[in-house]
């Protein structure tokens, strides 16, 4: 299993879950689990998951990040 790759088929991830979890925990990597080439879920470091939880869940975190990216994007 290539832990440098960010997208992994769900069946492959299931077979190598402890290796992926170690990389998430120790190397702070994020992995996407895919089915038929489409991302379905993500394995993220605990601190990131807890931040998402603190701001009100995934939808609120995405909204905040999108707003921040819009503000941070320089205009020509």
pLDDT digits (tens, 9 = 90+) for 5-16: 899 999 999 999
26's tokens? 């120790």
**Residue 74 clears pLDDT 80, i.e. is over it:** no
List every span in the chain annotated with CATH 3.40.1620.10.
1-44
DSSP assignment, residue 13?
H
Q: Is the pTM of this model over 0.85?
A: no
DSSP the chain: --TT-SEEEHHHHHHTHHHHHHHHHHH---EEEEETTEEEEEE--HHHHHHHHHTTSHHHHHHHHHHHHHHHSPP-
CATH number of 1-44: 3.40.1620.10
Angle at CA of residue 44, ends 41 and 47, nearest 5°: 140
Q: Write the pLDDT tens digit of every residue in 12-68.
A: 999 999 999 999 999 999 999 999 999 999 999 999 999 999 999 999 999 999 998
């Amino acid at each position: 299993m290539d832990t440098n790759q960010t997208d992994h088929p769900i069946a492959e991830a299931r077979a190598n879950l402890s290796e992926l979890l170690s990389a998430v925990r120790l190397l702070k990597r994020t992995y996407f689990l895919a089915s038929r080439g489409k991302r379905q879920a993500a394995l993220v470091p605990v601190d990131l998951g807890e931040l998402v939880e603190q701001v009100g869940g995934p939808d609120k975190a995405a909204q905040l990040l999108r707003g921040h990216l819009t503000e941070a994007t320089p205009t020509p």
